Amino acid sequence: MPGFEIFDESEKQQINEVMEQGFTFRYNFDGMRNGVWKARELEGMICDTLNVKHAHLVSSGTAALTTALAAAGIGAGDEVIVPPFTFVASVEAIVLAGAIPVFAEIDETLTLSPQGIRAVITPRTKAVNFVHMCGSMGHMDEIKAICDEHNLILLEDACQATGATYKGQSLGTIGQVGTLSFDSVKTISCGEGGAVLTNDETIYNNAHMYSDHGHDHIGMDRGAEGHPIMGANYRISEMNAAVGVAQWKKLGRILDIQRRNKKALKDALSQYSEVSFRVLPDAEGDNAGFLSFFLPDETRAREVVKALGEQKVPGVFYWYGNNWHYFKNWTHIQQMKGPAKLPIELIADRPDYTQVKTPQSDAIMSRTISMLINLSWSEADIQQRIDAFANVFKK
């Protein structure tokens, strides 16, 4: 991770096929395309690999989340449970859908805990936005059982977990709807792009219509198509999809490299008594895009982050102080600040997000360090990191 590290001639060839024979718009213009349909091709590849009935490409991971919420019928006044450790788009998409984000505690999987979800369910709860952070999963059997028990939609944000599985099932396909991201720093990169995954025919139809101004995509004349619902423009272009076709063919290779490189670093860190590791409910299913580990307390975690920086080790993340991945640092979310009045402002009994507390999550994240696992590392690069560990932890 990220996929751009192994860009080569194959991405160029796919783009050239669009430029020389096809058309850049993903729909219609059949006579100009010469059979070149890159978005369709990539969607088919995703379905085959992940064993899911439907994959619909959109312009970004955020667009995928927005589309998934709408397609699953999640909207005005609905409560959606979300973790405090996620990318900020997880919350923005809920707010812009007119729904109400409700923050619940995580556990040492770095994802929502079953107990955390149960603690915040109310009669208005419509869905759980379960985020598979840093390439791995939570306790999915328990999570799915809770959602089924309370008739909640399980939306899986697998934007950081492309290719990861739980007990053989691809993350993003366990709940009613899931999402992937293909931006510049994801496991598979289209430059920009995302996907909505579902086995539900109604959700799929809503998704492809909603992301294209409500077009029903029936027939070959765009001007004659029906518009059963309203929507927006979250279409992916054929150019981005072409890059994705080349990248998706490398997914197995990417996962193999990530898992090998992560194992080397994890084995090296295992000898240090003050280090413990993120809980992985299915270690074999981890996509290994990150190595996440815990230190005894916040003070020591900050010391180690600083020391690794002094050892010139890049790609070290201390999420607890990160502006875009942890709730306590999101002033604009706490204050619900937008350029115009937000739908949530019309809800009289909306939460006061300046008063939201997640002490269990704080206790976990303040001790957590994650390291990005690169595809381009040489043996010397890996050894440099192992040597840095020795210098930092033996001291």
- Would you please indicate which residues are annotated as catalytic (active-site) residues? 186
CA 213 to chain centre: 24
In order of 56, 132, 224, 225, the CA distances from 287 in angstroms are 22, 11, 44, 40
Query: Edge-to-edge strand order for the sheet containing 125-131?
Result: 54-58, 194-198, 177-181, 153-157, 125-131, 79-82, 100-103
- At residue 200, what are phi and psi to the nearest 5 degrees? -100, 120
The answer to whether the beta carbons of residues 262 and 291 sit under 8 Å apart is yes
Reported as half-sphere exposure (CB side, CA atoms, 13 A), residue 358 has a value of 29
Inter-axis angle of helices 379-394 and 298-310, nearest 10 = 130
In this structure, the number of other CB atoms found within 10 A of the CB of residue 281 comes to: 18
Beta-sheet strands, E only, within 27-74: 54-58
21-43 CB burial, b ≥16 within 10 A, e <16: ebbeebbbeeeebeebbbbebbb
For the stretch 121-124, contacts whose Cβ atoms lie closer than 8 Å and that sit 24 or more positions apart, written own/partner, are 121/81, 121/146, 121/150, 121/152, 122/79, 124/77, 124/78, 124/79, 124/100
